[in-house]
């Protein structure tokens, strides 16, 4: 069984130290690398009532686990990084590399929708296993697995036409579709 979550559900989650049990920050935004197909890191807010922006960022290789209730790290001192020591992709995210709002078109020329959210494995390493799509101007959404071969620009994502067979309308059923897609087509590794 594969448990999935949307990247947007991570916003506001506490960042908790494993050995300290302290909530040292919370997720402000998820930095996604569309070429890598994975979360590159997080920008942070302070915890508490006033929760202002925190300068430090959290690169994905400093993350121990991304769960449904918290993002876990080993400790505050070594895991949070000042913007000048963190990878530039996380410290200064390029909005062009953010796939949200991009159109998804199959290589057969069919537009499947626009990207509304990323789908991640619960307790995974930040890899996106799929995308949640919507038709512009409607609230209807559905999910497609993320193929490994993918042409990405700031405007559109081109996916194999086969992806259409694995479209699911709920996140629960989508877990099985991702597994199936990967074994048949060879999705993202």
Partner 1 sequence: MVTCKEALGRPVLSRSSAEKLGEVRHFVVDAGAQRVVELVVRGSRAEELVGWDDITGFGPDAVLVRTSSALREPASDTDKADAAGRRDPLGKRLLNDQGNGAGEVQDASFDEDTGILRSLTGDGVEVDASRIRGIGSYAVVVEASDEARALLG
Sign of CA dihedral 176, 179, 183, 186: positive
**C-beta of 15 vs 163, nearer to partner 1:** 15
The residue among 61, 56, 89, 65 whose CA lies nearest residue 13 is 65
In the stretch 15-54, what mask flags binding to partner 1 with x, by CB under 8 A? Answer: -xxxxxxxx-------------------------------
The DSSP H or E segment spanning 111 is strand 111-121
Phi, then psi, of 126 in degrees rounded to 5: 95, 0
Instruction: Determine which residue in the list 25, 39, 66, 81 makes contact with partner 1, applying CB under 8 A.
Output: 66
**Contact assessment for residue 12 and residue 32, using Cβ atoms and an 8 Å cutoff:** no
69 forms part of the interface with partner 1 (CB under 8 A): yes
Phi and psi at residue 25, to the nearest 5°? -170, 175
Interacting positions 89-128 with partner 1 (CB under 8 A) = 121-123
* 87 near partner 1, rule: CB under 8 A: no
Spatial CA neighbour of 171 closest among 127, 132, 140, 139: 132
Choose between 69 and 189: whose C-beta lies nearer to partner 1: 69
Listed ranges 1-9, 53-61, 143-151, 157-165: which one lies at the site for partner 1 (CB under 8 A)? 1-9
Chain residues binding partner 1 by CB under 8 A are: 1-3, 13-14, 16-23, 64-72, 121-123
């Amino acid at each position: 069984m594969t448990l999935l979550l949307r990247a947007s559900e991570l916003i506001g989650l506490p960042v908790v130290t494993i050995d300290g049990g302290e909530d040292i920050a919370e997720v402000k935004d998820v930095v996604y690398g569309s070429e890598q197909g994975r979360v590159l890191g997080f920008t942070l807010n302070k915890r508490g009532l006033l929760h202002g922006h925190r300068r430090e960022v959290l690169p994905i290789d400093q993350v121990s686990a991304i769960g449904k209730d918290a993002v876990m790290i080993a400790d505050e001192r070594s895991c949070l990084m000042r913007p000048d020591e963190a990878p530039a992709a996380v410290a200064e995210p390029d909005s062009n590399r953010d796939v949200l709002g991009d159109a998804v078109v199959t290589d057969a020329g069919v537009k499947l929708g626009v990207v509304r959210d990323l789908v991640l494995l619960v307790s995974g390493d930040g890899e996106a296993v799929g995308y949640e799509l919507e038709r512009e101007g409607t609230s209807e959404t559905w999910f497609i697995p993320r193929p490994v071969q993918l042409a990405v620009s700031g405007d559109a994502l081109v996916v194999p036409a086969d992806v259409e067979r694995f479209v699911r309308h709920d996140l629960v059923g989508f877990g099985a579709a991702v597994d199936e897609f990967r074994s048949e087509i060879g999705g993202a590794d």
